[in-house]
Amino acid sequence: MFKAELRSDALKGLINVISTLIDEVKFTISPEGISLKAVDPAHVAMVEVTLSKAAFESYQADDTEIGVDIDKVKDVLKLASSGDIISMEQDAEHGRLVFKVGNVTRRMNLVDTSSLGDVRVPPLELAASIEVPVTDLQKGIKASESISDHIALIADSERFELHCDGDTDSVDLVMEASNTVKIDADMKVSSMFPLDYFSNLIKAVPSDLRVKIELDTDYPVRIVFALAEGNGVVKYLLAPRIEKE
Amino acid sequence: MFKAELRSDALKGLINVISTLIDEVKFTISPEGISLKAVDPAHVAMVEVTLSKAAFESYQADDTEIGVDIDKVKDVLKLASSGDIISMEQDAEHGRLVFKVGNVTRRMNLVDTSSLGDVRVPPLELAASIEVPVTDLQKGIKASESISDHIALIADSERFELHCDGDTDSVDLVMEASNTVKIDADMKVSSMFPLDYFSNLIKAVPSDLRVKIELDTDYPVRIVFALAEGNGVVKYLLAPRIEKE
Amino acid sequence: MFKAELRSDALKGLINVISTLIDEVKFTISPEGISLKAVDPAHVAMVEVTLSKAAFESYQADDTEIGVDIDKVKDVLKLASSGDIISMEQDAEHGRLVFKVGNVTRRMNLVDTSSLGDVRVPPLELAASIEVPVTDLQKGIKASESISDHIALIADSERFELHCDGDTDSVDLVMEASNTVKIDADMKVSSMFPLDYFSNLIKAVPSDLRVKIELDTDYPVRIVFALAEGNGVVKYLLAPRIEKE
């Protein structure tokens, strides 16, 4: 059983992030909230999202799993304005999920969860941790997109840097440690990542948020940010691109 | 002879509706106003529009007919802002219609009206009549577009329903009779229609308007709404899609 | 040596005009400001732009030349909001130009100026001079685009006219001499021009500006307008299309 009401903005934040990776996702539902883990088909990135009961306007659920087609939920979101309440209810008998927005009811077949494998997110201790406003990263990405298809993230105790190096041109975004840029790094760390994955995720983050970036040398980067005003969290892990010598 | 001035919004409302059906239209002009009847090439829908003299800022006309290319009038509308006055004058000598918007003059050849046949709109008494804000219908349509290519309209004395049923998913818009949703129906009526025609029309209706829907079982639906603040009227008739057993 | 800071709006005005003609341009830089002359590959139009030192927020330069890829500068402009300061600095050692917007640094390879030939702008005395708000011209162009691929500019002592004549349709924009439309013409002059060039230029002019049009019969037209609040000037010369009899 699953029956809940959520503000459209929270659902949109959730769906935007997932849709950068996959088309179908399995939500794990419990009395305390919902969660999901997903990996993209190329196994380059994975995301782990939790949304606690407190994020919802109303929430009733037993332990269950539902498989959802992300594009269909995007269609539902188009029916809602910012601030609208979206109601969701599992119709277990017909294997459907029923959304209501205003006086529109949208029923959709669930996706068979057995085709949606379980995802194991590896535990990783990363050496450096940086916290920045996402808008700065969004500008750095915008500048980088015509330059190259990969991007380096570099941090030491004093600055965080995003560096993109093309054949003829290059882009640097340099952020010095400050009140708004928090850096916790004992030594210099640096890894290179596929720009498209990094870009798609960073663009999906609402621009009024701060993101935490956990970084190490030639390790995956973990990007963490809040959903639903702190009642949810997104943890995104992106594999490095390791340069062959 | 035909010479008139009309606010761009009224002309735009008129043209948007016609352009859902056809590219060229014959306006029938009289000293009292203008009217047109048009049917789409597939003969699935027809529209009847009248715009009385009172809708115009100024109006002088004898009985005449002019054939107009709708896309060219759309180009003229792009030159005008909301509230601008558009002047129109028939140049009978050169077989042209002359539009003026500000200090731009746009002359266009008229279309030969002999190629634009006369349209007979059948008189129909339909059992149920519903009056609703068009925005509600617009939301129901938006939800339905990815589901199926036809849509059912259903009414009884207590509610009006729009239902779209696809292979795996479905959409319902349910409107209970209320102060804003007026329903006049003695028995339950229900017909199915091609979604694209219904959708194109409903989207062409300015979103601050109410529309009247006249409905019967397996009969055409008639959709009626005002133009030019009540000085004109659109009557749109859409053939049902009758399911073969 | 070249190092300067410029408001994004001024740089954008400059780049928008150049990009209607060419992809790469040679800037001639002196201690007093920058200038450029460019001709399009088909030799139909040429433009001469000067931007004095006073247009810049800060400015330091020796005499030098730099070749720039216009599309790359457009990418830089996308990083800036209206009012932002863009800093530019020549990195002579690496043959690069370095732009800074906020904390983003964008380095780009310079284009070899030897491939960018010198442009000689012919001195021309044209009989008529007209000064009009560019928005009026923009409307006339918008109306003309579906009509024909050339446009006539006509002036006498009392009015300035833009005329576009197609196979079936025509457009006129007529501007009578007035407080906002200044006309200085002793006799009637008239020339015809390719609409796409004229249109691209006029659309690139910020819509709050006035433009000066210098016109003669079957001669090029010169279009002049200010950049950077009068601290720069654009002079655009467009060859007439002379009708064969």
Query: Torsion angle, CA of C126/C127/C129/C134, rounded to 10 degrees?
Result: -60
pLDDT of residue B238: 97
What distance in Å separates the CA atoms of residue C223 and residue C49, rounded to the nearest whole number? 12
Nearest residue in chain C measured CA to CA from A146: C75
Beta-strand runs (E) in chain B? 2-7, 24-30, 33-39, 45-52, 58-61, 64-69, 85-91, 96-101, 104-109, 128-133, 150-155, 159-165, 170-176, 182-184, 189-194, 210-215, 221-227, 232-238
Put simply, the answer to whether B105 touches C175 (Cβ < 8 Å) is no
What stretches of chain A show up as alpha helix (H) in DSSP?
8-18, 70-78, 134-144, 195-204
Mean confidence (pLDDT) of chain B:
94
Judge whether residue B39 has pLDDT over 90: yes
Percent of residues in chain A assigned helix, strand, coil, to nearest 5: 20, 45, 35
In tens, the pLDDT along B120-143 reads 888 999 999 999 999 999 999 999
φ/ψ of residue B90, rounded to 5: -75, 130
Interface test with C, best of A151, A154, A159, A172 (most C CBs within 10 A): A172
CA of A64: how far to CAs of A68, A107, C173, in Å?
A: 13, 18, 69
Interface contacts (A, B; CB < 8 Å):
38
Nearest residue in chain A measured CA to CA from B162: A104
**Cβ atoms within 10 Å of A36's Cβ, excluding its own:** 21
Query: What's this model's pTM, rounded to 2 decimal places?
Result: 0.89
Q: Tell me what percent of the residues of chain B surpass a pLDDT of 70.
A: 99
What stretches of A53-208 show up as alpha helix (H) in DSSP?
70-78, 134-144, 195-204
Contacting chains of C (3 CB pairs or more, <8 Å) are A, B
Tell me the sheet residues that pair with C49: C36, C234
In tens, the pLDDT along B148-162 reads 999 999 999 999 999
pLDDT of residue A225: 97
What distance in Å separates the CA atoms of residue B158 and residue B174, rounded to the nearest whole number? 10
Judge whether residue B193 has pLDDT over 70: yes
pLDDT of residue B244: 62
Put simply, the answer to whether B104 touches C170 (Cβ < 8 Å) is no
Interface test with A, best of B154, B163, B168 (most A CBs within 10 A): B168
Put simply, the answer to whether A139 touches C78 (Cβ < 8 Å) is no
Contact predicate B1/B88, CB 8 Å: no
The two tokens of residue A47 are 């995301």
Q: Which of C142, C168, C175 is opposite residue B79, by nearest beta carbon? A: C142
pLDDT in tens, chain A (245 residues): 999 999 999 999 999 999 999 999 999 999 999 999 999 999 999 999 999 999 999 999 999 999 999 999 999 999 999 999 999 999 989 999 999 999 999 999 999 988 887 889 889 999 999 999 999 999 999 999 989 999 999 999 999 999 999 999 999 999 999 999 999 999 999 999 999 999 999 999 999 999 999 999 999 999 999 999 899 999 999 999 976 65
Put simply, the answer to whether A75 touches B146 (Cβ < 8 Å) is yes
Nearest residue in chain C measured CA to CA from A137: C104
pLDDT of residue C117: 79
Cβ contacts of C199 within 8 Å, gap of 6 or more? C141, C144, C145
The region, left, alpha or beta by phi > 0 then psi within -120 to 50, assigned to residue B88 is beta
Contacting chains of B (3 CB pairs or more, <8 Å) are A, C
- Terminal C-alpha separation, chain C: 54
pLDDT of residue A242: 78
Q: Please give the average pLDDT of every successive group of 10 residues along chain C, which has 245 residues.
A: 96 94 95 96 95 97 96 95 95 94 95 87 94 95 93 96 95 95 96 97 95 97 95 96 70
Mean pLDDT on B36-57: 95
What distance in Å separates the CA atoms of residue A208 and residue A227, rounded to the nearest whole number? 12
Cβ density class C164-203: b for 16+ within 10 Å, e for less = bbbeebbbbbebebeeebebebeeebbbbbbbebbbbbbe
pLDDT of residue A115: 82
pLDDT of residue A245: 52
Contact predicate A172/A136, CB 8 Å: no
How far from the centroid of its chain's Cα atoms is residue A123's Cα?
17
Question: Which residues in chain B touch residue C173, judged by CB atoms under 8 angstroms apart?
Answer: 103-105
pLDDT of residue A244: 61
pLDDT of residue C115: 82
